[in-house]
Amino acid sequence: MIIIDESNWRDHAGENGVIIDPSGQRRKAGCFARRTPVGAVKCAAPANYPLIPRNEWASRSRDIKAARADTRSLLKAKGIPAFDQEQTSTCHAQSAALAVMVNRARQGEATVILSPGSIAGPVTGYRDEGAYIEDDLQQIVDHGAASIDFVPTNQISRRGWKAGAEENALLHRVTGWYDMGPRDSEMFARCATRVLLGDPVCVAYNWWSHAVTLTFLVEIAPGVFAFEFRNSWGASYGDDGYGLLVEGKGTPDAAYSPFQSTASMM
Amino acid sequence: MKWLYIALVLIAGCVRPVPGPAPPPVPPVPIVEPITPAPLTVVVVKDNASLGQLPSSQVAALMSENIRGYCQTHCKFGSDGKTPEYRSYQWATDVSLQSEGVRAAFKTAVDDAKGSRVPWLVVNNGKTGFSGPYPATEAEVLTILQRYGGA
């Protein structure tokens, strides 16, 4: 298992827009944390929900894991594989697409593998560029994400979109996001509350120039917590695509969580 | 001492019990039709913002893999033939694109909850069903599901 903390984060961080992943593969940095002030992201609501107290985190994490109610178990049961963004800069859209799939799975919607390319393309003007997650969220609210049956996973250019892709994407919209920023003393707790309630959190890290999806909270030592995250560097990354980000370096610079998706027809 | 004992027995034999109030009539036992298990439609409605205030066991039950697994094998399937009619929605969800069964169950939850925002469970097997606050534990939920959907 990959555990990223204050002692080793430089080993994972990139330079000049390139990140070397643990297998030695070059990955393009692709995410800018935040452009719009907190509260002004048009498609997101403020995260003004009650926080789960820190002294309950460990027991709740254990209870959920015991019931196999955590997001990783859900994705496994639904057969949703790890994304691999390959040589693209689309981590921003990969993170958002996975979050939508988790939210849809929680609602009980049909399992549809969504295409990050169908989000990243329109957001970047169909160019292989980094982006702000907030733009991906707006794209998903307005237009949704198409199935990979209509747009291949990492297809960014318009070429390769099948007829009907836009109509298909409308079935997979998010109608509500929480904006969890700013990166203050409660940011970690706001994200912890969401993942302990089964919601995914799209996060961006300035130090990493990268976006991933938080899936759960685990206690790695007494009183020490880390987010389990799913990366978009394939199943060979960490443990089947998962790693741990310890509180501190694991506290995101921007974070958004979907709380409602379109109740789409079978 | 022997005479005293005999006297007490005689006195006791002469005392008649005072008649008390008549016992309440026994209500007739209702004839309960046995529930014939049938494929279910299961809809949970909840308020995402307040879930963190629920007990841990109830949160785990809301997301339980065992309940999801039960529904996978005991719920009706949607028009794709593989997705069970087991949904978990926010109160303000537009379900107009869903099947008639899911729409009806969602409406039952909204009507029965009467504005309450506690998590609500609706189970329907086509003939009868359950509508009430979401139980506190996974075991209680499974008991309700098995009552209408079979073991």
Using a CB-CB cut-off of 8 Å, the residues of chain B touching A106 are 63, 88
Q: How does pLDDT run across A163-191, given as a tens digit for each residue?
A: 999 999 999 999 889 999 889 999 999 99
> How does DSSP classify residue B49?
G
Q: Which of B98, B95, B106 lies closest to B79 in space, CA to CA?
A: B98
Could you report the predicted ipTM of this complex, rounded to two decimals? 0.90
What is the Cα–Cα distance from B45 to B102, expressed in whole angstroms? 11
Positions of E strands within chain A: 2-4, 18-20, 26-28, 31-32, 44-46, 131-132, 174-179, 201-205, 210-221, 224-230, 242-246, 254-261
Residue B133 has pLDDT above 60, yes or no: yes
- Contacts (Cβ under 8 Å, ≥6 apart) of A55: none
Query: Per the CB < 8 Å rule, is A265 touching B97?
Result: yes
**pTM for the whole structure:** 0.89
Mean pLDDT of A147-166: 95
Residue B20 has pLDDT above 90, yes or no: no
Q: Is B80 near chain A, with CB under 8 Å?
A: yes
CA A148 to mean position of chain CA atoms: 18
Residues of A in contact with B83 (CB under 8 A): 108-111, 266
pLDDT at position B33: 73
CB contact, 8 Å: B93 with chain A?
yes
- Residue A230 pairs in a beta bridge with A213, A242
Whether residue A152 is predicted with pLDDT greater than 80 in this model: the reply is: yes
B-interface mutation test, from A149, A196, A266, most B Cβ less than 10 A away: A266
Q: How far is A240 from chain B (nearest CA, A)?
A: 20
Is the CB of B60 less than 8 angstroms away from the CB of A77? no
Q: pLDDT of A83-134, one tens digit each?
A: 999 999 999 999 999 999 999 999 999 999 999 999 999 999 999 988 888 8
A170 touching B (Cβ < 8 Å): no
> What is the model's pLDDT at position A172?
96
Q: Which of A50, A51, A260 sits opposite B93 (nearest CB)?
A: A260
A&B contacts, CB < 8 Å = 105
Q: For chain A, what percentages of helix, strand and coil (3-state, to nearest 5) are there?
A: 30, 25, 45
Q: Answer whether B100 touches A (CB < 8 Å).
A: no
Q: Which of A108, A110, A264, A106 is nearest to A197 (CA)?
A: A106
